[in-house]
Amino acid sequence: MLVKWIRCTVTDRRGFERGQRKWAGLLGEPGFRGQGGGWSRGRPGVAHVFAFWESRAFYDSFMARSHDRLAAAQSGTFRDAQAKLFDYRFDVKTGFEPRFTDADVVRIAHCKVHEERVEHFALMQEKVWNPAMAGSPGMVRGVFGDAPGNEFLVLSMWQSAAEHGKYRIERVERLSLRAQTAADVAALAGDVVDLEPGWTV
């Protein structure tokens, strides 16, 4: 599975949201698995969108054929768009599906990892972080993916920001020490996203 993460700064909120609903046109595209997104809790005007495809081949075919027609509806409503593609590595918790209807919040962590620490980082994600997140009340599901250049994406869905906040306060510092995260990670960027039900496809 391929995960696409898009982040942009919205300059025309109403126009952007109107355009976002036009992405319902993705339904029926070969290989399309689901899409959702919403607004950053910490950065005003920043929108995040997450799309899931069965494979790179299906995604490339969509980009070559239908993407520009669907994207035209949002033209001029945002700036500083960044899109990144990640290959699915494993689930956070079990049975990941690209559904957004039973979560209110997505937590995203984008990590650039030192080359010699990549295997350790992935192992710690599997053995330390995943069980801790999976055991946290309110954590629904998630996915761990990678991209060329030692980049990794951890996307987790939560029932509420309050549940995610409890997990962060109670456990993150201790887990970071155990997983030696500071030694693995060269750069870390993250955000917490309030999902907009109208953006779900």
pLDDT at position 170, please? 86
Q: Which amino acid is at 50?
A: F
CATH number of domain containing 189? 3.30.70.100
Give the 3-state DSSP-derived string for 135-185, with helices as H, strands as E and coil as C: CCCCEEEEEEEEECCCEEEEEEEECCHHHHHHHHHHHHHHHHHHHCHHHHE
pLDDT class of 169 with cuts at 50, 70, 90: confident
Tokens 């995943």 -> residue: 130
Give 122-138 pLDDT, tens digit per residue. Answer: 999 999 999 999 999 99
Tell me the residue range of the domain where 163 lies: 2-199
pLDDT at 23 over 90: yes
Q: Which amino acid is at 89?
A: R
pLDDT at position 189, please? 94
The tally of domains found in the chain comes to: 1
pLDDT-above-70 percentage for the chain: 100
pLDDT at position 201, please? 97
Tokens 């801790």 -> residue: 132
Q: How far apart are CA 174 and CA 187, in angstroms?
A: 19
pLDDT-above-90 percentage for the chain: 96
Q: CA distances (Å), 141 to each of 73, 96, 197, in order?
A: 31, 6, 17
